[in-house]
Amino acid sequence: MLYIVLLHYPVYNKEGRIITTAIANMDIHDIARVAKTYAVQGFYIVNPIPEQQNLAHEIISNWREGYGAAYNKFRHAAFELIRIEESLPAVLTDITRESGFVPKTIVTGANFSGNLLKFAELKEILQNSKLPYVLVFGTGSGIADEVVNMADYRLEPVKGPWNYNHLAVRSAVAIVLDRVMGV
Amino acid sequence: MLYIVLLHYPVYNKEGRIITTAIANMDIHDIARVAKTYAVQGFYIVNPIPEQQNLAHEIISNWREGYGAAYNKFRHAAFELIRIEESLPAVLTDITRESGFVPKTIVTGANFSGNLLKFAELKEILQNSKLPYVLVFGTGSGIADEVVNMADYRLEPVKGPWNYNHLAVRSAVAIVLDRVMGV
């Protein structure tokens, strides 16, 4: 059982105020449709800033209940997967409540090396286990070290035939889900 | 040798004027970075409307020569792949001039059935042939029948574990290139 997380992690500026990457409308749309295509259980958008959470709720409710829901039922089906949370621990709590098990977390990154979980290994785990797994994608400069360090696994990076790996997070989610949930 | 095309096809309204889907900024950014990752030879954006072509040129020149080029050299490297044309025949002419061969065209679509080129077949062709191939992606409601009918091949659709296939074109390009050009 796979959940995915798009993580906007809190960063503190010199005055001690939280700054973070903003939630992009296109991230919500593209990733929700990919998640639906690959039968993901839930798509969490994590952002620590209440105004950003409200913005995401507004976009989503239009496609769930507003004009968008009637206009495009396929978009509506994808948007039903979306859940907004303020932190990664809140996501883990929510999944534990829903599934009855504490999920295993897997972080993604373009520059990981060392002992990594292979795409084929994760695909096999997901096919054979009924336990919940959470795949975490970062925005901006990737996932903060303290999140990487608390994860159960680090996933191998997506690589093409040469050493250029600067994909949009939207593209990375599409490729990774195809590799681990594709038929 | 693989080229890709993002096709904004001319559609005529009741007054006989050309209407078409607009070039989206995010399409240019995401697809250029995917194309660079998978060592695509060129990324053509086709749009029949001169104002749309000019808009695309403006966005691209900022990342090639303007502020963006210095700000982000990885984006610059991806944007070097982009070429703007007014029609698919103009793309074929350009590739023929560059490569010395008339390219084979492959169209993509979410609803194709019948005799289709498999991902594994295309991957093998691209590994073993030095001839140019063009992979065409549509915007809006997909690729017009007259373009599909003139193509050499129709590629099998991307499918997940169930019958939902409503990916953004940005996601479809990422998944297809990973399947046919991935290592």
**Mind listing the pLDDT tens digit for each residue in A49-101?**
999 999 999 988 888 887 777 777 888 889 999 999 999 999 999 999 999 99
**3-state SS class at A177:** helix
Chain-centre distance of CA A117, in angstroms? Answer: 17
The residue whose two tokens read 């086709």 is B46
Contacts of A34 in chain B (CB under 8 A): 167-168, 171
Stated as kind and residue range, the H or E segment containing A10 is: none
The beta-carbon neighbor of B171 closest among A39, A174, A181 is A174
The beta-carbon neighbor of A37 closest among B33, B78, B167 is B167
Residue to substitute from A29, A38, A180, interface B, most B β-carbons within 10 A: A38
Whether B70 has a pLDDT exceeding 80, the answer reads no
Q: Give the ipTM.
A: 0.92
If one compares A141 and A52, the residue with the highest pLDDT of the two is: A52
Contacts of A30 in chain B (CB under 8 A): 168, 170-171
Let me know: does A44 contact A8? Beta carbons within 8 Å.
no
DSSP states along B108-159: --TT--SS-B-HHHHHHHHHH--S-EEEEEE-TT---HHHHHH-SEEBPPP-
In angstroms, the CA B41 to CA B177 distance is 12
In angstroms, the CA A14 to CA A48 distance is 18
Cβ-defined contact of B164 to A36 (cutoff 8 Å): yes
CB atoms within 10 A of CB B39: 16
Whether A40 has a pLDDT exceeding 90, the answer reads yes
- pTM of the predicted model, to two decimals? 0.93
Whether B40 has a pLDDT exceeding 90, the answer reads yes
Å from A51 to nearest chain B CA? 24
If one compares B131 and B9, the residue with the highest pLDDT of the two is: B131
Computed over every residue of chain B, the mean pLDDT equals 92
DSSP states along A71-111: H-HHHHHHHTTEEEESSHHHHHHHHHHHHSSPPEEEE--TT
Percent of chain B with pLDDT over 70: 99
Whether A23 has a pLDDT exceeding 90, the answer reads no
Q: What is the pLDDT of residue B11?
A: 76
Contacts of B163 in chain A (CB under 8 A): none
Which range, of A73-77, B35-39, B93-97, averages the lowest pLDDT? A73-77
Hey, which residues does B19 pair with through a beta bridge? B11
B116-173 pLDDT, tens digit per residue, is 999 999 999 999 999 999 999 998 778 988 899 999 999 999 988 888 889 999 999 9
Q: What is the pLDDT of residue B45?
A: 96
Residue A89 CB burial class (10 angstroms; 0-12, 13-18, ≥19): exposed
Q: Using pLDDT thresholds of 50, 70 and 90, give the confidence band for residue A9.
A: confident
Whether A1 has a pLDDT exceeding 90, the answer reads yes
Question: Cα dihedral angle (B45, B47, B51, B52), rounded to 10 degrees?
Answer: -50
Cβ-defined contact of B77 to A164 (cutoff 8 Å): yes
Whether A114 has a pLDDT exceeding 80, the answer reads yes
The beta-carbon neighbor of A162 closest among B39, B74, B160 is B39
Residue A183 CB burial class (10 angstroms; 0-12, 13-18, ≥19): exposed
Q: What is the pLDDT of residue A11?
A: 77
CB atoms within 10 A of CB A54: 12
Let me know: does B180 contact A41? Beta carbons within 8 Å.
no
Q: Using pLDDT thresholds of 50, 70 and 90, give the confidence band for residue B15.
A: confident
Residue to substitute from B1, B2, B25, B26, interface A, most A β-carbons within 10 A: B26
Whether A43 has a pLDDT exceeding 90, the answer reads yes
Which range, of A21-25, A70-74, A128-132, B114-118, averages the lowest pLDDT? A70-74
Q: Using pLDDT thresholds of 50, 70 and 90, give the confidence band for residue B77.
A: confident
In angstroms, the CA A138 to CA A133 distance is 16
